Amino acid sequence: MRPKTKLIHGGSEGDVRVGDEATGAVNVPIYLSSTFKQDGPGRHRGYEYARTGNPTRAALEALIADLEGGVRGFAFASGMAAMTAVMMLFQQGDHVIVGDDVYGGTYRLMTRVLQRFGLEATFVDASAGGERAADGERHSADGGSSLRETDRPASLASAVRENTRAVLVETPTNPLLSVVDLEAVAAFCRQHGLLLIVDNTFMTPYWQNPFAYGADIVVHSATKYLSGHSDVVAGLVVVRDPELGERLHFLQNATGGVLAPHDAYLLIRGIRTLGVRMEAHEHNAAKIARFLSERKDVIRVYYPGLKTHPGHEVMARQARGFGGMISFEVDSGERAERIVRAVRLFTLAESLGAVESLISIPARMTHASIPPERRKALGITDGLVRLSVGIEDADDLVDDLAQAFEQAR
């Protein structure tokens, strides 16, 4: 099956998804049942208690496993619940290397929650091209791609310890859209016997499949593009090793942060249109990125689809698209605030990946949980504005930004 077909028919055993075998309903029913009748003590028909398994959730879990090319999927009540369950694979005294430009909530989980239980984390720049480049050292003359094979594994290698168990990266990263070379990082992980965990939220399986490059675990905040309509909070995990799948199922059941059946249904519905939406997001983002790059009052545009982006080449190799997220920098936090207040079609809100365009100031919103000095070191300045480009008419979005820049002068 080709990608768009798989979004609609994936996850089922036969050729065509049948929502409900009993009635022929084309949609997966929402099984609002917390428990299931047993034919005899301990003899059930696949479901016993809905924390352990629910048919609507199971349909979603089979679908995401299929879309990512893994063997087993797991649905959680949020992306952070999914990430927490993955981290429960490790023990007290273990160590995880984390890309230093990850979502602020992931940083907070690692540093303020899991650290208290003895899981250590070191944050390193895992990006392919040193897009952050505030310190010229990270910038290579040819746009950065020559750093690929050598520098990133070197920065990872300096963080490896005897107790290191895994590497966790996002690509592209949030909010600076740095690109991580999955193949290079996976090779590094194999060499050191580490699990590679990839947060694939920004790309979705429609554009990027980390397993194809050697990842072991894929995590999603399904709240974003997979759902696509700003109406669900959900997280997904996929593994490609059955034994890891068993361990994760144990953890999902033991810790209990499962996705409710109604939300699982909404997510299946969202995923059906993922292909057409992702293409529309990207079409609009490309147009807006061009518009921003031509403006003198924009200091920097972060969009991997631009040929000038240091991670462009790597991304073109490992992903089928460049996505709908753009960040750009203006000269001050005050100007950034004037812009976000002046837009009319972009909604000032956290989150991303839905049909409507959103705008945010990461330093004061999504990444406020990262200490100011650390934000500064990463390049998340007060003047950084992040756009989640929706699927409205691109010309309306460009016009809206243009009038906002005029008002923000």
Ligand X SMILES: Cc1ncc(COP(=O)(O)O)c(C=O)c1O
So which residues are the catalytic ones?
Answer: 51, 103, 199, 224
| Of 164 and 174, CB closest to ligand X | 174
d(CA 379, CA 362): 11
| Of 75 and 80, CB closest to ligand X | 80
| Of 78 and 145, CB closest to ligand X | 78
Q: Stretches 77-85, 177-185, 283-291, 313-321: which one binds ligand X (CB under 6 A)? A: 77-85
Count of residues for the chain?
Answer: 409
**172 in contact with ligand X (CB under 6 A):** no
d(CA 229, CA 358): 12
d(CA 352, CA 141): 33
d(CA 248, CA 252): 6
Q: What's the angle, vertex CA 133, arms to CA 131 and CA 138, rounded to 5? A: 95
Q: Stretches 100-108, 184-192, 266-274, 355-363: which one binds ligand X (CB under 6 A)? A: 100-108
**105 in contact with ligand X (CB under 6 A):** yes
Pairing of strands 164-170, 95-99: parallel
Q: Tokens 């895992």 sit at which residue? A: 126
- Exactly one of 11, 73, 79, 383 binds ligand X (CB under 6 A); which one? 79
Type of residue found at 224: K
**235 in contact with ligand X (CB under 6 A):** yes
Q: Stretches 3-11, 103-111, 140-148, 383-391: which one binds ligand X (CB under 6 A)? A: 103-111
CB of 367 to ligand X, least distance (A): 10
**100 in contact with ligand X (CB under 6 A):** no
Cα dihedral 195/200/204/208 (nearest 10): -60
CB of 274 to ligand X, least distance (A): 16
Alpha helices in 233-298 (DSSP H): 242-255, 261-272, 274-293
Q: Which residue is nearest to ligand X (CB)?
A: 79
Instruction: Point out which residues pair with 95 in neighbouring strands.
Output: 120, 164
d(CA 336, CA 195): 39
**197 in contact with ligand X (CB under 6 A):** no
CB of 199 to ligand X, least distance (A): 5
200-219 binders of ligand X (CB under 6 A): 201
**233 in contact with ligand X (CB under 6 A):** yes
CB of 197 to ligand X, least distance (A): 11
**323 in contact with ligand X (CB under 6 A):** no
Those residues whose C-beta lies under 8 Å from the C-beta of residue 104, and which sit 6 or more positions away, are 362, 366, 367, 368, 369, 370
Residues that bind ligand X (CB under 6 A): 78-80, 103, 105-106, 170, 174, 199, 201, 221, 223, 233, 235
